[in-house]
């Protein structure tokens, strides 16, 4: 059997040992022995041993009530530590004789290919600096780990890095191991479940911490890497103002279905961002003030100083430092006492950038380019990327809230009910008001609380600096009036600049009509005149998958994008597609590189905007080295998709996809919508109801009360992940593939998989999900938690899963999933030894918790720990 890397294995082993020692120190040798019996039992049970299964089940059954929680914690924490070992493996320093990570090689490879396809070196630098990649960090509640623990995990990863030196003296090594020992003990003695629900401000602070602790370092490192790759390719380095990757955020701005995100919260978060930016620049500039003690400077710089000095750079930097200090103090004051911001703080990016650039030029011109290209260059690049507000905050609100607000307004004005108007009537009214010079509302308009909130939010937007805001995203958008409505509300609040307003198409129906809606919007002359930049359109991956299953949703997303590209080309408007993806396959997730290169040709035209959510933020951007790798990957992939786009699908492939999408949709909806027992089965077989008790995020799990349709996509996926049925990620493919085979389309499917990145990526993702799915585990939930009348439905679902696996094996010509990537198989297998006891415990705890009159805190807590542990083991939440 293939083995995971020896280093990972050694680190995992070491962690197991350290965790074991900690548990023993607290709970005694006998407890540790039980944990060992469970672990070895699970391991041999996975290899098919009946004795192993018996040992596992009997030891678990024999646990005293007060042992349930520590056992769950032990396995859960072990999986977290294993994740650190994996993550560290990605970022560890490579020796001279080792290959650099592939993420760091990709850009050079793409540049080589561009050169080979007749791009001259000069164009290469332009091509990279012209990229506009925006990663939008969201507060989606899919991060199970507490921040306190995440910080400890990061610290553990750092100790691993320090240990990873061949020449380390024994005493040093012992000191580091001692530190690790104490960190593992800290982890063990810290509760993994948050005691209260986070506020949106907490979420925003966590997002800012990722910038402060990781991206602040990663960005200059990435751009240095880009410069060196460009130089090697014979091209110029990037211009100083280049910012091919930037960051935006939804934390404190996304109010869709989250009543806790108010106008006040948004204003607060915008100010916190500016405060932190001032603080971070202050640290940089203070450091530069120490470093830049050089004497020679250009006349330009001396003229600005206007006095005799031996240390001209320090004079300039001290002035900047004083301005930053003042700005930081004033912001702090305004935040603490809820005051307006004074005029005399830094409001303009040039005030930060100009002195830095002047020092840079002067150092170069005076023969000190080497010094200029050190820390000073890094600060300039940070300023270009992060600006004065670190991220651009998006605002998101549900279209129905705008409709309700406008309805209230039109009724108050005596114009009738906006809600009842046809699309045409709505457009007419909105366009007329948009071009009117007088305001729509007078001061005596008394808005309801909901409408006041919508208007206040627009007011916050009006008063915020332009560069601190990104896009206004409208969820559940379907028609041009949804966009015009927001524009009117913004105008009414006094927004005078052009703010990007993006409809989010996120149901199958809306995706199918997206291009028509945008075409109509762009045909409105007044709208076109006001459109200052590109037309942004957001594609909702996970809600469309929840609506239609992944087969039909993936194809609808693809087609919508193709059509949008066409519509915008015809209208002569640039298109900016915003991809709303989650981390898991069911929510449109997958490796970024494959995802970008499987987009329709023409849809990634130098621009790429995507969400990064929850646990993905930690795994991809939590540590500066790993963040740099992921950012490098984005650069390479967007460059490639722009200049070397994937092939367009042949008509025959499209026809097959049309049929598969229809079959997939029917297969999915037959179960999820038409099966009368389905909702009950879902509620009994999965921990869906219990998940709501895990305080993962600031927003409620449902938009409103009701069945599956009211449940948000995240808990929908999360619940099925916990039982390992993973239903939403594959359901529908079994029908789609089966019928395609029955129609004799196998040879064309092979061709599609071979030549069409979109189709290949879909099948690869499907295979990954099916590898993580496990009907043996799902059956345990079924047998213990589901009433007998519903079990036949469970059996039917297991059969469908089996069928899906068979179809994928047939399509990929394998005997078992991931046969060609045994390392992937091995890594899942290793985790199963720790996951299996958690699943068994979870089933038991769910049964006990559901049978209780009054919730028992110990059982509740242990159950939530199993949830967190399984999420850690599978490395995804919802």
With binding defined as CB under 6 A, does residue 255 bind ligand PGA?
A: no
Our answer to whether residue 546 is catalytic in this structure is yes
Active site residue 24: no
User: Are 55 and 22 a contacting pair, CB within 8 Å?
Assistant: no
Stretch that binds ligand PGA, among 49-57, 215-223, 266-274, 711-719 (CB under 6 A): 711-719
- Does 714 engage in binding with ligand PGA (CB under 6 A)? yes
Q: Which is nearer to ligand PGA, 376 or 473 (CB)?
A: 473
If 0-12 CB within 10 Å is exposed, 13-18 middle and 19+ buried, where does residue 57 land? middle
The one segment of 359-367, 369-377, 421-429, 710-718 that binds ligand PGA by CB under 6 A: 710-718
Q: Site for ligand PGA (CB under 6 A): how many residues?
A: 9
Q: Report in angstroms how near the CB of residue 489 gets to ligand PGA at its nearest.
A: 21
Give the shortest CB-488-to-ligand PGA separation in angstroms. 24
What is the Cα 751 distance to its own chain's centre? 32
Q: Which two tokens stand for residue 414?
A: 């005596």
End-to-end CA distance of the chain: 31
Q: Pick the stretch among 75-83, 265-273, 655-663, 708-716 that binds ligand PGA (CB under 6 A).
A: 708-716
Give the range of 176-184, 205-213, 264-272, 706-714 binding ligand PGA by CB under 6 A. Answer: 706-714
Question: Would you say 544 or 827 has its CB closer to ligand PGA?
Answer: 544
Q: How far apart are CA 333 and CA 336, in angstroms?
A: 5
- Specify the residue, 135 or 276, whose C-beta has the smaller distance to ligand PGA: 135
Contact status: 8 vs ligand PGA (CB under 6 A)? no
If one counts every other C-beta atom within 10 angstroms of the C-beta of residue 165, the result is: 12
Indicate which single residue of 582, 600, 687, 757 sits in contact with ligand PGA (rule: CB under 6 A): 582
- Contact between 353 and 381 under an 8 Å Cβ cutoff? The reply is no
Least separation in angstroms between CB 712 and ligand PGA? 4
Closest CA to 641 of 684, 678, 598, 670: 598
494: left (phi over 0), alpha (psi -120 to 50) or beta: left
Nearer Cβ to ligand PGA (223/719): 719
Asked if 248 contacts 136 with a C-beta cutoff of 8 angstroms, the reply is: yes
Q: In terms of CB distance, is 491 or 587 closer to ligand PGA? A: 587
Stretch that binds ligand PGA, among 165-173, 400-408, 712-720, 855-863 (CB under 6 A): 712-720
Q: With the CA atoms of 445, 451, 457 and 458 taken in that order, what torsion angle do they form, in degrees rounded to the nearest 10?
A: -60
Q: Least CB distance from residue 734 to ligand PGA, whole Å?
A: 23
What is the token pair recorded at 579?
A: 């991809």
Q: How far is the CB of 259 from ligand PGA (least distance, A)?
A: 14
C-alpha 197/C-alpha 696 separation (Å) is 7
Residue with the shortest CB distance to ligand PGA? 542
Q: Which is nearer to ligand PGA, 226 or 477 (CB)?
A: 477
DSSP of 689-727: HHHTTS--SSS-SBSSSSSGGGB-HHHHHHHHHHTT--H
Strand 132-138, strand 245-249: pairing: parallel
- Least Cβ distance, residue 581 to ligand PGA (angstroms): 7
Cross-strand partners of 711: 702
Q: Name the residue nearer to ligand PGA (CB basis): 121 or 695.
A: 695
Which of 471/542 has CB closer to ligand PGA? 542
Residue 712 near ligand PGA by CB under 6 A: yes
How many other CB atoms sit within 10 Å of the CB of residue 36?
12
Q: Binding ligand PGA by CB under 6 A: which of 43, 140, 381, 724?
A: 140
Let me know: does 383 contact 281? Beta carbons within 8 Å.
yes
What is the DSSP track for 63-90? --HHHHHHHHHHHHHHHHHHHHHHHHHH
Rounded least distance, CB 613 to ligand PGA, Å: 6
In angstroms, give the least distance from the CB of 403 to ligand PGA: 18
Task: Based on the shown chain and the rule CB under 6 A, indicate whether residue 713 belongs to the binding site for ligand PGA.
Answer: yes
Instruction: Tell me the C-alpha distance between 484 and 431, whole Å.
Output: 7
Q: For ligand PGA, which is the closer residue by CB, 220 or 697?
A: 697
Task: Give the shortest CB-261-to-ligand PGA separation in angstroms.
Answer: 12
DSSP 372: I
Select the span of 267-275, 286-294, 564-572, 707-715 touching ligand PGA (CB under 6 A): 707-715
Annotated catalytic residue: which of 34, 140, 643, 839?
A: 140
Q: Which is nearer to ligand PGA, 395 or 495 (CB)?
A: 395
Residue 133 main-chain phi, psi, to 5 deg: -105, 125
What residues contact 603, with CB distance under 8 A and at least 6 apart? 561, 562, 564, 565, 575, 577
Q: Which two tokens stand for residue 90?
A: 């990605």
Q: How far is the CB of 81 from ligand PGA (least distance, A)?
A: 28
Q: State which of positions 589-618 bind ligand PGA (CB under 6 A).
A: 613
For ligand PGA, the binding residue among 59, 542, 632, 775 (CB under 6 A) is: 542
Pick the binder of ligand PGA from 203, 227, 378, 543 (CB under 6 A): 543
Q: Contact 835/82 with Cβ under 8 angstroms?
A: no
Q: Percent helix, strand and coil across the chain, each rounded to 5? A: 65, 5, 25
Q: Which of 43, 546, 620, 772 is catalytic?
A: 546
Residue ranges that bind ligand PGA, judged by CB under 6 A:
140, 542-543, 582, 587, 613, 712-714
Task: State the catalytic residues.
Answer: 140, 546
């Amino acid at each position: 059997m293939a083995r995971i890397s020896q280093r990972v294995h050694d680190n995992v082993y070491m962690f197991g040992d350290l965790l074991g020692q900690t548990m023993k120190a607290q709970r005694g040798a006998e407890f540790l022995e039980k944990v060992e019996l469970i672990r070895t039992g699970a391991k041999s049970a996975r290899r098919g041993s009946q004795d192993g299964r018996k040992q596992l089940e009997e030891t678990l059954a024999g646990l005293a009530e007060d042992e349930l929680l520590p056992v769950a914690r032990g396995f859960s924490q072990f999986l977290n530590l294993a994740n650190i070992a994996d993550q560290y493996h990605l970022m560890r320093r490579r020796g001279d004789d080792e290959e650099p990570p592939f993420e760091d090689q990709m850009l050079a490879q793409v540049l080589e290919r561009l050169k080979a396809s007749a791009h001259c070196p000069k164009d290469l630098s332009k091509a990279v600096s012209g990229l506009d990649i925006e990663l939008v960090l969201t507060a989606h509640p899919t991060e199970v780990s507490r921040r306190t623990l995440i910080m400890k995990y990061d610290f553990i990863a750092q100790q691993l890095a320090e240990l990873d030196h061949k020449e380390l003296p024994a005493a040093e090594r012992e000191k580091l191991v001692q530190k690790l020992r104490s960190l593992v003990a800290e982890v063990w003695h810290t509760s993994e479940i948050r005691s209260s629900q986070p506020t949106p401000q907490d979420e925003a602070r966590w997002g800012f911490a990722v910038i402060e602790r990781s991206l602040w370092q990663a960005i200059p490192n990435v751009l240095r890497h880009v410069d060196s790759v460009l130089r090697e390719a014979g091209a110029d380095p990037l211009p100083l103002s280049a910012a091919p990757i930037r960051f935006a955020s939804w934390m404190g701005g996304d109010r869709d279905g989250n009543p806790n995100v108010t106008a006040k919260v948004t204003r607060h978060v915008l100010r916190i961002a500016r405060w932190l930016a001032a603080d971070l620049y202050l640290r940089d500039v203070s450091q530069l003030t120490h470093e830049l003690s050089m004497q020679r400077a250009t006349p330009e710089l001396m003229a600005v100083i206007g006095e005799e000095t031996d240390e001209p750079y320090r004079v300039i930097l001290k002035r900047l430092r004083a301005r930053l200090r003042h700005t930081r103090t004033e912001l702090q004051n305004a935040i603490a006492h809820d005051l307006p911001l004074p005029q005399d703080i830094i409001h303009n990016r040039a005030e930060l950038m100009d002195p830095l650039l002047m020092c840079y030029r002067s150092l170069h011109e005076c023969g000190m380019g080497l010094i200029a290209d050190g820390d000073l260059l890094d600060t300039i690049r940070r300023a270009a990327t992060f600006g004065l507000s670190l991220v651009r905050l998006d605002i998101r609100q549900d279209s129905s809230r705008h409709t309700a607000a406008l309805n209230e307004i039109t009724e108050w004005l005596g114009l009738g009910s906006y809600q009842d108007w046809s699309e045409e009537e709505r457009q007419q009214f909105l366009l007329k008001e948009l071009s009117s010079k007088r305001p729509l509302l007078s001061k005596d308009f008394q808005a309801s609380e909901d409408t006041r909130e919508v208007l206040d939010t627009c007011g916050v937007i009006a008063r915020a600096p332009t560069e601190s805001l990104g896009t206004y995203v409208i969820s559940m958008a379907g028609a041009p009036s949804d966009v015009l409505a927001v524009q009117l509300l913004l105008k009414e609040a006094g927004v005078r600049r052009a703010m990007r307003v993006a409809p989010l198409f996120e149901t199958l129906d809306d995706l199918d009509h997206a291009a028509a809606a945008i075409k109509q919007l762009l045909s409105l002359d007044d709208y076109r005149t006001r459109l200052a930049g590109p037309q942004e359109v957001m594609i909702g991956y996970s809600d469309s998958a929840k609506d239609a299953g992944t087969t039909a949703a993936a194809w609808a997303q693809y087609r919508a994008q193709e059509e949008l590209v066409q519509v915008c080309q015809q209208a002569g408007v640039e298109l900016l597609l915003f991809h709303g993806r989650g981390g898991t396959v069911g929510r449109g997730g997958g490796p970024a590189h494959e995802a970008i290169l499987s987009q329709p040709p023409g849809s990634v035209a130098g621009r790429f905007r995507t969400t990064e959510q929850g646990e993905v933020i930690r795994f991809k951007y939590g540590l500066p080295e790993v963040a740099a790798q992921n950012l490098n990957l984005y650069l390479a992939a967007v460059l490639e998709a722009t200049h070397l786009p994937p092939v367009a699908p042949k008509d025959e492939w499209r026809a097959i996809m049309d049929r598969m999408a229809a079959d997939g949709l029917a297969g999915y909806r037959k179960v999820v919508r038409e099966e009368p027992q389905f909702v009950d089965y879902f509620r009994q077989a999965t921990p869906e109801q219990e998940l709501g008790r895990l305080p993962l995020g600031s927003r409620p799990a449902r938009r409103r009360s009701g069945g599956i349709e009211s449940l948000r996509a995240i808990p929908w996926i999360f619940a099925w992940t916990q039982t390992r049925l993973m239903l939403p990620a594959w359901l529908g493919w079994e029908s789609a593939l089966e019928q395609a085979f029955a129609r004799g389309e196998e040879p064309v499917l092979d061709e599609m998989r071979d030549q069409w990145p979109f189709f290949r990526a879909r099948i690869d993702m499907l295979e990954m999900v099916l590898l993580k799915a496990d009907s043996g585990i799902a059956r345990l939930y079924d047998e213990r938690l589901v009433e007998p009348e519903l079990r036949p439905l469970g059996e039917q679902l297991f059969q469908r899963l089996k069928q899906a696996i068979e179809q994928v094996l047939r399509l990929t010509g394998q005997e078992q999933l991931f046969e060609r990537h045994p390392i992937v198989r091995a890594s899942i297998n290793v985790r199963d030894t720790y996951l299996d006891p958690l699943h068994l415990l979870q089933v038991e705890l769910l049964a006990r918790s559901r049978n209780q009159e009054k919730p028992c805190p110990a059982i509740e807590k242990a159950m939530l720990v199993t949830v967190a542990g399984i999420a850690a083991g599978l490395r995804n939440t919802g």
